[in-house]
Every structure is written in C-alpha cells, then in structure tokens.
Amino acid sequence: MRPADLIATAKKLISPKVGKPKQSDLRRALSSAYYAMFHTLAKCCADLLVGGPGSKRSKPAWKQVYRSLEHRFAKDACNKKELMAQFPKGIQIFAAHFVDMQVKRHAADYDPDEKFYKSAVSLDIDMTEIIIELFRRESLMDRRAFAALVLFRNRP
C-alpha cells in the first residue's frame, strides 16, 4: 500500500468533475488520508525493524511487523505526552496528527450524523501529506525508537 496513492485517491474523491463532493466521498477521502498515515507508520516499523527494500530481510518477518501495528495501541502511544516530548518535532507533529486523523476517521466511518465539509477535509489531506514528509525526514534512530513505541508495550 503506497501512502502517496492513498493521498491521491483522497484528493480525487473531494474534487468531482461536476458539483460538490458527496458526503460519502468526503468520508472516504478522510479515511484514505488517515490510512496514508497508518501505512506510512506500518512501513516505517517494518523497514526499520526488519529491513527496508534491497536489504536481506525475511519477507514473512517484514509482513508480520507491518501487520502488527494496531490502531488503538499506536494512538494510545502517540497520546503519551511525556514520552512524545523526547522525540524531535517532526515525530511529535506526526503523532499528534495521527491521533487527530484517527478520531476523524472513526467519525467518518461510523457516525451517521457527522457532516463533513470539503474545505476542512481538503486541509486535513494537505496537512497529512506535509506531515508524512516531515516524518520521513527525521533520523533513522528517532523513527526506529518511535516504531518501538507504537508497536511494543513499555515495561518499566
């Protein structure tokens, strides 16, 4: 799953050729933007803990790590302010936006009374794209530590 493709899909959904986007398209666009973040993080975890493209890596191990990222656990880890304060700004911003987008994705997918607006969804998509790029620019060491935080229970 390529996060850039999910962002492109989200943008396409909110820009119909004629008229305003439907609520269903706005909802799917918001969900796609969240999943761009989720898959960015899942790939980061797998690449940094097992090995990236071109490395000698076990495909089953890589897939196991990729699939091990859990939505709620990752959100809870991102909400730990004291731990997040130890990371550089790009990761802190990614974590805060990840939490925000997960909440919005839940509303988009499960709340039939929620109403969405093109301008707000468009801003969320654009911010997600920028924040993913900021995250990717952070050091391998910091992204690896963040991967451990969102995947594994912390045992003091």
Residue 109 tokens read as 């997918």
Q: Which amino acid is at 127?
A: M
What is the reported pLDDT for 54? 81
| φ/ψ (deg, to 5) at 71 | -55, -55
Cα separation, 70 vs 74, in Å, equals 6
Q: For residue 65, which of 7, 150, 3, 138 has the smallest C-alpha distance? A: 150
Cα separation, 75 vs 73, in Å, equals 5
What is the reported pLDDT for 37? 98
Residues 6+ apart with CB under 8 A from 43: 3, 66
What is the reported pLDDT for 141? 96
What is the reported pLDDT for 55? 85
What is the reported pLDDT for 18? 80
What is the reported pLDDT for 19? 83
What is the reported pLDDT for 87? 97
What is the reported pLDDT for 90? 97
Are 41 and 48 in contact by the 8 Å Cβ rule? The answer is no
Domain spans of the chain, in order of start: 3-151
Could you tell me how many residues make up the chain? 156
pLDDT tens track, the chain, 156 positions: 799 999 999 999 999 778 899 999 999 999 999 999 999 999 999 999 999 888 888 999 999 999 999 999 999 999 999 999 999 999 999 999 999 999 999 999 999 999 999 999 999 999 999 999 999 999 999 999 999 999 998 767
Cα separation, 78 vs 90, in Å, equals 13
Kindly report the pTM of this predicted structure: 0.94
What is the reported pLDDT for 137? 97
Q: For residue 142, which of 150, 81, 75, 58 has the smallest C-alpha distance? A: 150
